[in-house]
């Protein structure tokens, strides 16, 4: 048996009007649309839960298929290695370093918060120091930048592909 992809356009334009016709009265039509939107959202959530349960079954039971493969894409993000920057470029570190404090930052700014925390807590703030990649790019040549970045790969939601589509 081969899977036939679901065609939402056909469902919405042909099947749905047959099984749940749209009322002619504009108020009832609006309520109809609202009810459908809610029902489809519930359906979406239920289908996604089932999709993830099916993926768990595929993974836990090590299911194999001649027709399909499961692909686990990843996304790489980068962060600045603040300690290396501090050691190699202390002046640049002092210039670019900040602490996360989203709400206070809106009122006081990064530099004020950093300097106030440094004055108050001394070296205890060191593990919390941050530098944005954007700020660092403005002060280092592109060839030097990678040595101050730490890459981290994040697994994304899996994608089921046919054997022909699989990488």
* pLDDT, tens digit only, all 167 positions of the chain: 577 888 889 999 999 999 999 999 999 999 999 999 999 999 999 999 999 999 999 999 999 998 888 888 899 999 999 999 999 999 999 999 887 667 677 778 888 888 888 898 988 888 888 899 999 999 999 999 999 999 999 988 888 777 788 77
> What is the rounded CA–CA span in Å between residue 89 and residue 12?
60
pLDDT at 100: 66
Tokens of 104: 């206070």
pLDDT of residue 4: 81
Q: Which helix (H) or strand (E) holds 92?
A: helix 90-96
CA dihedral 107, 129, 132, 144 (to 10 degrees): 150
For residue 148, give the 3-state DSSP assignment: helix
The pLDDT of residue 80 is 95
Return the C-alpha torsion angle 76, 154, 86, 103, nearest 10.
110
Q: φ and ψ at 14, to 5 degrees?
A: -115, -60
Q: To which H or E segment does residue 71 belong?
A: strand 68-71
* Pair 133, 78: CB distance under 8 Å: yes
Name every residue whose Cβ is closer than 8 Å to that of residue 37 and which is 6 or more positions away in sequence. none
């Amino acid at each position: 048996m081969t899977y036939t992809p679901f065609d939402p356009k056909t469902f919405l334009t042909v099947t749905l009007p047959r099984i749940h016709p749209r009322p002619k009265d504009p108020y009832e039509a609006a309520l109809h649309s609202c009810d459908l939107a809610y029902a489809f959202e519930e359906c979406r959530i239920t289908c996604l839960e089932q999709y993830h349960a099916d993926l768990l079954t595929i993974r836990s039971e090590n299911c194999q298929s001649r027709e399909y493969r499961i692909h686990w894409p990843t996304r790489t993000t980068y962060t600045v290695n603040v300690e290396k920057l501090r050691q190699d470029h202390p002046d640049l570190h002092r210039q670019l370093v900040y602490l996360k404090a989203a709400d206070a930052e809106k009122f006081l700014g990064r530099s004020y918060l950093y300097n106030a925390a440094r004055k108050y807590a001394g070296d205890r703030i060191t593990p919390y120091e941050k530098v944005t990649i954007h700020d660092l790019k403005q002060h280092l040549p592109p060839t030097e930048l990678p040595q101050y970045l730490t890459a981290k790969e994040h697994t994304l939601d899996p994608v089921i592909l046919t054997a022909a589509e699989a990488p």
